[in-house]
C-alpha cells in the first residue's frame, strides 16, 4: 500500500468524499424506486437537483436535500469527533434514534426503522436485526466515513473490520450487510490514499472482504466490459441489479465509478440514472468519486445547490482532524 499523500491533498479528498456522498444522495433522492426507463421518460438524463414531488405536484422535499444515507454517515462522523478518532457507537446510536423521530425518518428503510425502534426500547446499539429481508444497502452507504477515518493510519485490518462491524451492528446484524459495508469503507480508504487504480478497485475489494453474494457480484461486475456511452452504462447496470439489496447496490455503485473515474458528475449520473436504489447508489458512488478526485472536482452548480453544505464542510474538516489524532499526526495545543 502506498504512503498517504500530503495533508492538503488528503483534506481535499475528505471534503470531496463527504460532499460527494451528499451530492450523489441528493441527485438520487427524488427518483428513488423508479426504474431506469421511468427516469428517462420523465426527466431525460438526470444530472441536476430536483425536488421530490407529491402526487398533486406540490414539493414534498426541496431539491438538493440528501437522505438518511448521508444523515447516518454524519452521525458516525459526529461520534468520532472529540474521541480522538475512535468510534463511539452509543453516541452514534442515540443520534440515529433522533433521526428516527424526525422528518428524515421518511427515507429510512424498514429494517433500519425496526432496528432503531427496538434499540430505542432496550438501549443496546449493538443488537442490529438479521434475516434475508434485512440485507439492504443503507448500512453500506454510511460506512464510507470509516474508510476516511482509517486513511491516515498504518493500516490495521483487525481494527478496520472492527470499526465497520460496530458501525453496522447499530442497525444490521446480517453478515452480508456487514460485508457490503466493509466493501464500501475499504474502497473509500484505497481511493483516499491513491493506492489502487479505479479499473482494479472492485477486484481489490472483493479480495479483501468475505466470500459471499457481495464479493461474487463485485467480481461479476469487474469482469464486464462496460460501454463507453453513459446512457448505455446506466441501462446496463439496471439489468445487473438495481434493487436496494446490499450486493446489488454496492456492486453497481463501484461499477458506476469505474465507468467514469475521472468525471465526478458522469459517475454519479450513471449511478442515479440506473434507477432503483438511486439515493443509496448515488451516495456510495459520490463518496468513491469524491475520495478519488477531491473536492475541486465537484460541480460548482451542485455544490451551490446542496442543502447543508456548510455543515458538511465543517464535518469533513473535523473528521480529518480526528483521523490525524487517531494516526498520531495531530496535536491540539492549549493557548494560554
Condensed to tens digits (0 to 9), the pLDDT of residues 167-180 reads 999 999 999 999 99
Flag whether 280 is marked binding. yes
Cβ neighbours for 217, distance < 8 A, ≥ 6 positions apart? 240, 241, 247, 248, 250, 251
331 falls in which pLDDT band (50, 70, 90)?
low
Residue ranges in the chain assigned as alpha helix (H):
7-28, 36-43, 68-80, 89-100, 110-122, 138-141, 144-149, 157-168, 175-193, 201-208, 213-222, 230-240, 246-259, 264-273, 278-293, 300-305, 309-327
Q: What is the pTM of this model?
A: 0.95
Return the C-alpha cell found at 71.
444523515
Checking if the pLDDT of 70 tops 70, the result is yes
pLDDT of residue 333: 45
Flag whether 67 is marked binding. yes
Share of the chain above pLDDT 90, in %: 85
Say if residues 299 and 305 touch (Cβ distance below 8 Å): no
102 falls in which pLDDT band (50, 70, 90)?
confident
Q: In terms of C-beta density within 10 A (0-12 exposed, 13-18 middle, 19 or more buried), how is residue 130 classed? A: middle
**Least confident segment among 202-206, 212-216, 221-225, 267-271:** 221-225
Q: What is the distance, to the nearest Å, from the Cα of residue 91 to the centroid of all Cα atoms in its chain?
A: 20
Task: Select the more confidently predicted residue: 14 or 223.
Answer: 14
SS3 73: helix
Say if residues 228 and 29 touch (Cβ distance below 8 Å): no
Q: Which of 217, 253, 32 is nearest to 140 (CA)?
A: 253
pLDDT of residue 6: 57
| DSSP conformation class of 334 | P
pLDDT of residue 221: 85
pLDDT of residue 314: 97
| DSSP conformation class of 59 | E
Q: Which residues pair with 61 in a beta bridge?
A: 52
Task: Select the more confidently predicted residue: 282 or 226.
Answer: 282
pLDDT of residue 328: 83
pLDDT of residue 40: 96
Say if residues 295 and 283 touch (Cβ distance below 8 Å): no
Which long-range contacts does 202-210 make (Cβ < 8 Å, 24+ apart)?
A: 202/251, 202/254, 202/255, 202/258, 205/254, 208/182, 208/183, 209/179, 209/182, 209/183, 210/175, 210/179, 210/182
Task: List the domains of the chain with CATH numbers.
Answer: 7-327 (1.10.4080.10)
Q: How far lies 303's CA from each of 20, 171, 287, 313, in Å?
A: 9, 30, 14, 11
79 falls in which pLDDT band (50, 70, 90)?
very high
Checking if the pLDDT of 332 tops 70, the result is no
Question: Is the C-alpha dihedral spanning 152, 291, 313, 101 positive or negative?
Answer: negative
Return the C-alpha cell found at 121.
426500547
Q: What average pLDDT is seen over the chain?
A: 93
Share of the chain above pLDDT 70, in %: 95
Cell 472492485 appears where?
202
How many whole angstroms separate alpha carbon 100 and alpha carbon 105? 5
Question: Is the C-alpha dihedral spanning 174, 179, 180, 185 positive or negative?
Answer: positive
Flag whether 279 is marked binding. yes
**What CA dihedral angle connects 181, 184, 187 and 189, to 10 degrees?**
-70
Cβ neighbours for 180, distance < 8 A, ≥ 6 positions apart? 137, 139, 140, 214, 246, 247, 249, 250
Condensed to tens digits (0 to 9), the pLDDT of residues 107-122 reads 999 999 999 999 999 9
Flag whether 220 is marked binding. no
Checking if the pLDDT of 265 tops 70, the result is yes
Amino acid at each position: 500500500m502506498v504512503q498517504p499523500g500530503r495533508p492538503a491533498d488528503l483534506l481535499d479528498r475528505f471534503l470531496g468524499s463527504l460532499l460527494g456522498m451528499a451530492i450523489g444522495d441528493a441527485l438520487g433522492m427524488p427518483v428513488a424506486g423508479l426504474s431506469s426507463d421511468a427516469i428517462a421518460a420523465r426527466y431525460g438524463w438526470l444530472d441536476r437537483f430536483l425536488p421530490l414531488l407529491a402526487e398533486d405536484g406540490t414539493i414534498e422535499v426541496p431539491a438538493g436535500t440528501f437522505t438518511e444515507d448521508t444523515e447516518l454517515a454524519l452521525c458516525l462522523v459526529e461520534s468520532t469527533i472529540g474521541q480522538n478518532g475512535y468510534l463511539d457507537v452509543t453516541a452514534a446510536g442515540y443520534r440515529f434514534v433522533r433521526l428516527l423521530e424526525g422528518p428524515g425518518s421518511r427515507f429510512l428503510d424498514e429494517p433500519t426503522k425496526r432496528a432503531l425502534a427496538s434499540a430505542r426500547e432496550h438501549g443496546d446499539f449493538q443488537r442490529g436485526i438479521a434475516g434475508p429481508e434485512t440485507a439492504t444497502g443503507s448500512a453500506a452507504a454510511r460506512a464510507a466515513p470509516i474508510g476516511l477515518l482509517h486513511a491516515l493510519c498504518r493500516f490495521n485490518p483487525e481494527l478496520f473490520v472492527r470499526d465497520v462491524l460496530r458501525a453496522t451492528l447499530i442497525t444490521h446484524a446480517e453478515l452480508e450487510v456487514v460485508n457490503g459495508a466493509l466493501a464500501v469503507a475499504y474502497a473509500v480508504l484505497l481511493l483516499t490514499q491513491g493506492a489502487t487504480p479505479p479499473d482494479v478497485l472492485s477486484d481489490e475489494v472483493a479480495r479483501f472482504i468475505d466470500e459471499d453474494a457481495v464479493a461474487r457480484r463485485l467480481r461479476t461486475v469487474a469482469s464486464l466490459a462496460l460501454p463507453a456511452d453513459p446512457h448505455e452504462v446506466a441501462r446496463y447496470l439496471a439489468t445487473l441489479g438495481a434493487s436496494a439489496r446490499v450486493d446489488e447496490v454496492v456492486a453497481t455503485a463501484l461499477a458506476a465509478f469505474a465507468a467514469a473515474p475521472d468525471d465526478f458528475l458522469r459517475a454519479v449520473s450513471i449511478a442515479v440514472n440506473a434507477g432503483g436504489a438511486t439515493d443509496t447508489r448515488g451516495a456510495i458512488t459520490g463518496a468513491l468519486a469524491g475520495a478519488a478526485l477531491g473536492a475541486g472536482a465537484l460541480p460548482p452548480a451542485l455544490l451551490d445547490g446542496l442543502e447543508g453544505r456548510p455543515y458538511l464542510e465543517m464535518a469533513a474538516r473535523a473528521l480529518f482532524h480526528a483521523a490525524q489524532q487517531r494516526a498520531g499526526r495531530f496535536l491540539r495545543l492549549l493557548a494560554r
